[in-house]
């Protein structure tokens, strides 16, 4: 099993649709992350979960709703998105978050989202 998996790999949705992105990690990690990567921009951290508790919401619009039912699974629920939300959404995991000292993060392959 690969370390971090994401489904779907590609998603095209209309602005009125509701969809969910799924991430699963098989590494026994306790921290999981959602990032957004747009063209010509650095990775933007969206959410951090540590031991299933959300510890960071980086001013993300409410049309993005994360869910972390356990330390191995992370979801990103999407509704009423805008075309500018089109991007690569990457999930990552690490053993833990600990103050300002972070362990290596392992990334999934990402979901390439297009909002029409």
Partner 1 sequence: RKEVEQDPGPFNVPEGATVAFNCTYSNSASQSFFWYRQDCRKEPKLLMSVYSSGNEDGRFTAQLNRASQYISLLIRDSKLSDSATYLCVVTGFQKLVFGTGTRLLVSP
Q: Does 104 bind partner 1 (CB under 8 A)?
A: yes
Q: Which is nearer to partner 1, 28 or 42 (CB)?
A: 42
Q: Does 30 bind partner 1 (CB under 8 A)?
A: no
- Least Å distance, CB 77 to partner 1, is 21
Judged by CB under 8 A, the chain residues 51 through 80 that form the site for partner 1 are 55-56, 58
The piece of 21-29, 67-75, 76-84, 92-100 that touches partner 1 (CB under 8 A) is 92-100
* Residue 47 token pair: 């959410």
- Least Å distance, CB 41 to partner 1, is 7
DSSP E strand boundaries for the chain: 4-7, 10-13, 18-25, 31-37, 44-50, 53-57, 64-70, 73-79, 87-94, 106-107, 111-115
Q: Which is nearer to partner 1, 32 or 48 (CB)?
A: 48
Alpha carbon distance 49, 79 (integer Å): 21
The piece of 20-28, 50-58, 62-70, 74-82 that touches partner 1 (CB under 8 A) is 50-58
Residue-wise DSSP of 82-114:
-GGG-EEEEEEEES---TT-PPPPEE---EEEE
């Amino acid at each position: 099993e690969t370390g971090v998996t994401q489904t779907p790999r590609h998603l095209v949705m209309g602005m009125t649709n509701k969809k969910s992105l799924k991430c699963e990690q098989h590494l026994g990690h306790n921290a999981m992350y959602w990032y957004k990567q747009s063209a010509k921009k650095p990775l933007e951290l969206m959410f951090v979960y540590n031991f299933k508790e959300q510890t960071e919401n980086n001013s993300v619009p409410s049309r993005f709703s994360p869910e972390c039912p356990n330390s191995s699974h992370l979801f990103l629920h999407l509704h009423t998105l805008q075309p500018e939300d089109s991007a690569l959404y990457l999930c990552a995991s690490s053993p833990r978050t600990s103050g300002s000292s972070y362990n290596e993060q392992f990334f999934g392959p990402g979901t390439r989202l297009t909002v029409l």
